Structure formats: C-alpha cells, structure tokens
Structure 1
Amino acid sequence: MQTTAPGTAGPTPGAPATGLDVVVTGTSSDAHTWNLIYLELLLTEWGHRVSVLGACVPEELVVTEALACRPDLVVVGSVNGHGAADGLRLIAAIRAEPRLAALPVVIGGKLGTAEDTARAALPRLRAAGFTGVFEESAGTAPFRRYLDTLTAGVCR
C-alpha cells in the first residue's frame, strides 16, 4: 500500500497530524486504476493521509484492511459502471463487521451503466449503509464539502 502521493514528501516529520487517514479502494469488478490515483492525489492535496488498496479488491480484503488500519474514512471509486452492484456487496460486508459499524464509507464515480440507473441506485446505496454517495456528474465539490464535515479520529 502506498501512503503518500507519488512525488510528494508526505507529512512533515514531528508536525501535528492533520487531516484524515483515508483508505481508497476500487470495487471487486473494477480494474481501472487511474481514478484511484486521482483520488489519492486529490485527497493528499487536501491534507489527508491516503492508503490505496488498488483495483479489483475483494470485499473481504477491504474489511480486513479497515480493521487493521482503523481509517477515518473509506473511499470507494468506480469507473466501470458496476459501482452500485459492487458497492452494495461491499457495504454489506463492511456493515456486517460490528467494529466497522460507525466507519464512514463513501462511494462515487460511475455507479451505473446508464445515467438513469445510476441515479436510481443512489437511495439504495445510502440505505445500505454508505455515508456518502457521489455521482460522477457532480464533480468533486460535494465530495470536498462532505470531507470538510469529518474530523480526524472520528472512528477511533
């Protein structure tokens, strides 16, 4: 796992910790990585510490890593259009673990193969346990506003 963005020095040694500890992951069927790199760079630029699990990550691995790392937030990115289906399986696995019940988990990107199916999935994803669901067409502003509402250590 990479803990800082490529080409950056990361946090200053001895400086007080600011920002969130964030795990970024793709879904089990999504082989794309450029979106995960983008999320890593964006979150790092905004002052957060990031670990990237990668693409095609099995649900069980996300749960195992969340238990081991105890992040403040898990960010799930989807590009292949199957984010809603994969996301429902992933959030079910996360919420089945009592120690992760309060962990903020968000999903965003291309959640369906058509705009209307993606929009229809938003309420189902929220009801299943995602604390934030972000449509690709909305850009990064809603995601940034959500992050601003969180504080470091929310789940510790």
Structure 2
Amino acid sequence: MQTTAPGAAGPTRGVPATGLDVVVTGTSSDAHTWNLIYLELLLTEWGHRVTNLGACVPEELVVTRALAQSPDLVVVSSVNGHGAADGLRLIARIRAEPRFAALPVVIGGKLGTAEETTRAWLPRLRAAGFAEVFEESAGTAPFRRYLDTLTAGVCR
C-alpha cells in the first residue's frame, strides 16, 4: 500500500510550507496498517508531507524510495513486537548508503514481545543508527517534541 497524504501536492490551507517530507513505513515482517495510517494522519495534521509505504516493506524498497525522494525524515513503526529485530536490519541497510549518513530515521511502537525486552532494545537501536526510539507507552508527545527540533531548521 502506498499513499500520499491529502494535500501533499501543494500547501494545505492552514499548514505551514516549512513542514518536513516524511516517509512512513512498517517493517518487513509487520502486516499491521492502522498504525501507519494513524501516523500519516497525525503527521499531515502537524503540517508535514507524508509518503506512506505501507506494511511488510522490504528493506531494499525503503532505501530505493528514500533515494528517489530524499526525505527529511523516515519514520518506522511496528505493532507486531518484532520491530527491534526488523529495525536493526533496516537501519543497517539505510546507513550503508553514504547519502543517508545524517538522515534522521526514527522507530517506535511495539519493539519487543515483552516490556523488559523493549527496554533492552533501546540502546542497541540508538547505537545502530536510529536518531530516536519511541516506546509505545510514551504516547505521541515525545515524537512531537522530536519533530519540533527537526522543523526548527527547515526552510523551504
């Protein structure tokens, strides 16, 4: 499933033109889509342009789309509890591309199958190259604060 947020072709009334170009994607093993649609709607409401790659996205497709699109941010979401393992493979592939050395890539959702597993994955995911890791229990406030740090320097 690939969609572009409504109004992505041009500025939407009430939405600043300084928003980010964001790629939202699920992981290769996660077939859930409601989380991706929610993120797309949330990011669009916050003034960003979104390309939603959908669920069960192979790592190579994420890299290919990012190379073609040159987004400001990649958001990886997981619901199935395998987000950390899938995320490590994905971030390794993304960071293998020299153009993406500084590309902000974040991951969030259900990263492990048990609470203690999720906490154990956080440092590994950050060390592997994710700019930020969001735990599902924290809600959207930390994600919004992170986005605000990115948009402070964006001028289009």
* Structure 1: stretches of 5+ with no match in the other structure: none
Code of the aligned partner of 2:3: Q
Q: What are the within-5 Å matches in structure 2 for residues 13-92 of structure 1?
A: 17-92=17-92
Aligned-pair CA distance for 1:151 = 2.6
Aligned-pair CA distance for 1:4 = 1.2
* Structure 2: stretches of 5+ with no match in the other structure: none
Q: 1:28 to 1:46 in 2, by over 3 A?
A: same
Q: 1:5 to 1:137 in 2, by over 3 A?
A: farther
Q: In the alignment, is residue 3 of structure 1 matched against residue 10 of structure 2?
A: no
Code of the aligned partner of 2:68: A
User: Do the aligned residues in 1 keep the contact of 2:81 with 2:112 (CA within 8 Å)?
Assistant: yes
- 2: CA distance, partners of 1:135 / 1:152: 24
Residue 135 (structure 2) aligns with:
135
Code of the aligned partner of 2:47: G
Q: In the alignment, is residue 124 of structure 1 matched against residue 124 of structure 2?
A: yes
User: Do the aligned residues in 1 keep the contact of 2:22 with 2:72 (CA within 8 Å)?
Assistant: yes
- 1: CA distance, partners of 2:35 / 2:16: 29
Aligned-pair CA distance for 1:115 = 0.4
Structure 1 residue matching 2:124: 3-state secondary structure: helix
- 2: CA distance, partners of 1:94 / 1:9: 26
Q: Percent identity, aligned pairs only?
A: 86
Aligned-pair CA distance for 1:53 = 0.4
Q: 1:114 to 1:16 in 2, by over 3 A?
A: closer
- 2: CA distance, partners of 1:99 / 1:153: 19
- 2: CA distance, partners of 1:12 / 1:132: 28
Q: 1:153 to 1:56 in 2, by over 3 A?
A: farther
Aligned-pair CA distance for 1:9 = 9.2
- 1: CA distance, partners of 2:141 / 2:149: 13
CA RMSD of aligned residues (A): 2.3
Q: TM-score, normalised by structure 1?
A: 0.91
- 2: CA distance, partners of 1:101 / 1:115: 30
Residue 104 (structure 1) aligns with:
104
- 1: CA distance, partners of 2:76 / 2:85: 13
Q: How many positions carry a matched residue from both structures?
A: 153
